[in-house]
């Protein structure tokens, strides 16, 4: 029995702020988009408690509730939101061939990639248990909740230095835990950290355990040269050891940078493949905010709409 093939004008892969915003714009344009949520419906915001920096929510909003609002708005205008994981793509043909859960085949005139990125974690049980309860992978998102408090941040690259400096503007003290006796960060970023009196860099230091039952109240660290353990009283623990874009499945066709972030034509969401667009954290390794992801989702939908208009009315 041959498998039935579904034909779609706009297929959106991923369901964070970028994917849902693209869906809202595409569905309002009458393009009947189909959106597959991926393995984490709603994306990283579903593991975020309070979101206070997204416009339109004056009292803040829980991350999962915010994504539920986005989904409902997309569905209101006719988006078909489906649970499923894209397992294979073929972008060498037109329409594009996309396989979902290794069994559903879709022929899509346009594809919008909004698969996001996942934060890299240390892999501690306490890190998982206290995620959203003092443990965070985004200082810009959550630093405000720890104003005038002492926090720690793990990392040694530019992002870690940037976030440590950001936290120092809000918090009373920032402990920066660096695994080696040097940083990977650029000299200018290191200088900013070293010259900030509110940041204390702890070299050759690794995290043994994050302390606290219901919320973070400390961290146990150890010096990997001497083996000596010690505890620091903190209320916030930030992990800044990098992000991994969820783009592996597209690498055969789509141009990416060395870290796997999709390369788009500046000022657009266009990739190197005509009819394939990328938005959100899958192509943004700089800002990584819900509001910027939503903005690029809008761009992707408008770019897809214009592309369809050109091929359907040459």
pLDDT digits (tens, 9 = 90+) for 8-17: 999 999 999 9
Catalytic residue among 50, 69, 138, 208: 138
Question: Is position 141 annotated as part of the catalytic site?
Answer: yes
The reply to whether 208 belongs to the active site is: no
Domain ranges of the chain: 5-118+243-312, 121-239
Choose the catalytic residue: 142, 281, 284, 303: 142
Q: Do domains 5-118+243-312 and 121-239 have the same CATH topology?
A: yes
- The residues, any chain, with a CB within 8 Å of residue 76's CB and separated by 6 or more, are none
Task: Let me know if 161 is a catalytic residue.
Answer: no
Assigned CATH for 121-239: 3.50.50.60
Please name the residues in contact with 133: beta carbons below 8 A apart, sequence gap of 6 or more.
49, 212, 214, 215, 216
| pTM of the model as a whole | 0.84
Provide the sign of the torsion angle of the four alpha carbons 276, 281, 287, 289, taken in this order: positive
Q: How many residues does the chain have?
A: 314
pLDDT tens digit sequence for 181-219: 999 999 999 999 999 999 999 999 999 999 999 999 999
Model pLDDT for residues 256-292, shown as the tens digit of each residue: 999 999 999 999 999 999 999 999 999 998 888 999 9
162: three-class secondary structure by DSSP: helix
Q: What is the DSSP letter of 144?
A: G
Q: Which of 141, 161, 171, 279 is catalytic?
A: 141
In CATH, what is the architecture of 5-118+243-312? 3-Layer(bba) Sandwich (3.50)
Rounded Cα distance between 187 and 193, Å, is 10
- Find out whether 180 and 223 touch, Cβ atoms under 8 Å: no
């Amino acid at each position: 029995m041959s498998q039935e093939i579904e034909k779609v004008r706009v297929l959106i892969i991923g369901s964070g702020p970028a994917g849902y915003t693209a869906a809202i714009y595409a569905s309002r344009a009458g393009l009947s988009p189909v959106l597959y949520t991926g393995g984490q419906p709603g994306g990283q915001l579903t593991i975020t408690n309070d979101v206070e920096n997204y416009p339109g929510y004056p009292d803040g909003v829980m991350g999962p509730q915010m994504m539920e609002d986005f989904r409902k708005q997309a569905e209101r205008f006719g988006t078909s939101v489906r649970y499923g994981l894209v397992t294979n793509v073929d972008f060498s043909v037109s329409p594009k061939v996309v396989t979902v859960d290794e069994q559903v085949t879709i022929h899509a005139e346009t594809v919008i990639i909004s698969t996001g990125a996942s934060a890299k974690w240390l892999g501690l049980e306490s890190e998982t248990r206290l995620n959203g309860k003092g443990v965070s992978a985004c200082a810009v998102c959550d630093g405000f909740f720890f104003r005038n408090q002492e926090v720690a941040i793990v990392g040694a690259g530019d992002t870690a230095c940037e976030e440590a400096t950001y936290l120092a503007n809000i918090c009373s003290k920032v402990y920066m835990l660096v695994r080696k006796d040097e940083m990977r960060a650029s000299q200018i970023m290191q200088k900013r950290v070293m010259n900030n009196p509110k940041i204390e860099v702890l070299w050759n230091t690794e995290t043994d355990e994050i302390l606290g039952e219901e919320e973070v109240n400390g961290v146990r660290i150890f010096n990997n040269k001497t083996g000596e353990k010690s505890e620091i009283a903190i209320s916030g623990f930030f992990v800044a050891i990098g992000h991994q874009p969820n783009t592996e499945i597209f690498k055969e066709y789509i141009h990416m940078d060395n870290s796997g972030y999709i390369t788009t034509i500046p000022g657009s969401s266009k990739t190197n493949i005509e009819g394939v667009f990328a938005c959100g954290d899958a192509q943004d390794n700089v800002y990584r905010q819900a509001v910027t992801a939503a903005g690029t989702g809008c761009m992707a939908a408008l770019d897809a709409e214009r592309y369809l208009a050109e091929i359907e009315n040459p």
